Amino acid sequence: MRYRDAGVSLDRQDQFIGLIKKLNRKSGHQIGAFAALFDLKKTLKNYEHPLLVSSTDGIGTKTRLAVEYGSVGGLGQDLVAMSVNDIATIGAKPLFFLDYYGTAEIDLCVGEAFVQELVKACEEANCELIGGETSQLRDLYRNVSDLELVGFVVGIVEQSAIPDSKKIRPGDCLIGLLSSGPHCNGYSLIRKIVSERKLDLRKIYSEAGTRLLGELLLEPMRIYSNLALKLFSRFEIKGAAHITGSGILGNLPRVLNSKVDAAIDTTVWPRLKIFAALQRWGEIPEDEMWDVFNMGIGFIFIVSDAQADQVLHFLKKQGEQAHLVGKIERGKGRVRLQQ
């Protein structure tokens, strides 16, 4: 027997690794034989008490939808965005990124589309793609179309710059940045809706938007990290939350202290049509929508009332559609939605 008899093509894996190094010219020299290298020397000169920050995440069911639609490129940005946005909540600068690409059998066309966007997203986030792992596991991923994508980021932050939740007080303001869609969350429910309602991913549904349904659902997650770093360097950010799985209700309380609540005015930002369409198609209760989806807000900053207008003005100059989405009030560390 040979390895290919068990479903593993060593030649194709070598071709894929070579493709990654070719596309990733910027930091390909740091991909070693068994480990990747990153030079911290210059970076550390700018810090008094540097802390390394790490995060990892996987794309999940959105990957299956992308494979079914035949467009996996945007998943590269999704993978980077999920991790760099998480560490951006404490003002950390991403340094380097690694990925895991697991499949039953490597499809070089699919792999190339993914890696191209992965490299592009790393460049946008100002971090280096320095390594990863590629696995062909026919016994684990049963179908050739099965694909698992996981990302890992390491960043750096000055200890004194990390937000202190104890400083959050009643009267502080909540400033939200718009999302581009569901991002990477709620896709088990989305795929169930698409399947049971027999929706065509290659059809335009006017109630969902003016683009093909597949394009709307696969719109990549926004990379907020660069904008977040600019705000952290110019203003006192008391807290920040990346709105991912569990929505605003599940993510914002993680940065509050036990003496305050976040009162969110859900009427101040435009809700994307795709959310209303999904709710109607799936007959999803309103409270479930807020528990599952970001509902149009992908990132939230907490700032003092005195700085709120300055922050909003700065964001507008950056071309960002930011909204004052709520206020901090006395409470017990919870989020309250006001409609």
Average pLDDT, the chain: 92
Q: What is the rounded CA–CA span in Å between residue 223 and residue 184?
A: 12
What is the pLDDT confidence band of residue 25, given thresholds at 50, 70 and 90?
low
Residue 273 tokens read as: 């049509």
pLDDT tens per residue, range 47-68: 999 999 999 999 999 999 999 9
Tokens read off for 316: 């507008």
- Statement: residue 29 has pLDDT above 60: no
Residue 5 confidence (pLDDT) above 70: no
Question: What mean pLDDT comes out for the span 323-332?
Answer: 98
34: confidence class by pLDDT, cuts 50, 70, 90: confident
Superfamily of domain covering 165-338: PurM-like C-terminal domain (3.90.650.10)
Helix axes 187-196, 62-69, angle to 10 degrees: 40
Confidence bin at 3 (pLDDT 50/70/90) = low
Which amino acid belongs to residue 250? G
End-to-end, the C-alpha distance of the chain in Å comes to 65
Contact 223, 121 (CB under 8 A): yes
Which pair of structure tokens corresponds to residue 87?
Answer: 């560490």
Strand-pairing partners, residue 139, are none
17 vs 217, residue with greater confidence: 217
What does the longest C-alpha to C-alpha distance in the chain come to? 72
Question: Rounded to two decimals, what is the model's pTM?
Answer: 0.93
Per-domain residue ranges of the chain: 3-161, 165-338
Please state which of the ranges 31-40, 145-154, 231-240 shows the lowest mean pLDDT: 31-40
Give the pLDDT confidence score for residue 27 in this predicted structure.
Answer: 55
Burial class (CB in 10 A: 0-12, 13-18, 19+), 6: exposed
Q: Cα dist. 195→75, 82, 122, 263, 272 in Å? A: 21, 26, 33, 36, 22
15, pLDDT greater than 90: no
Range 243-271 average pLDDT: 97
CATH of 3-161, one of 3.40.50.1820, 3.90.1150.10, 1.20.1050.10, 3.30.1330.10: 3.30.1330.10
The predicted structure's pLDDT at residue 52: 97
The sign of the CA dihedral 325, 326, 328, 334 is negative
Secondary structure of residue 326 in the 3-state scheme:
strand
Which parts of the chain fold into alpha helices (H)? Answer: 10-23, 41-44, 62-69, 75-88, 108-124, 187-196, 213-217, 225-234, 247-251, 273-282, 286-292, 305-317
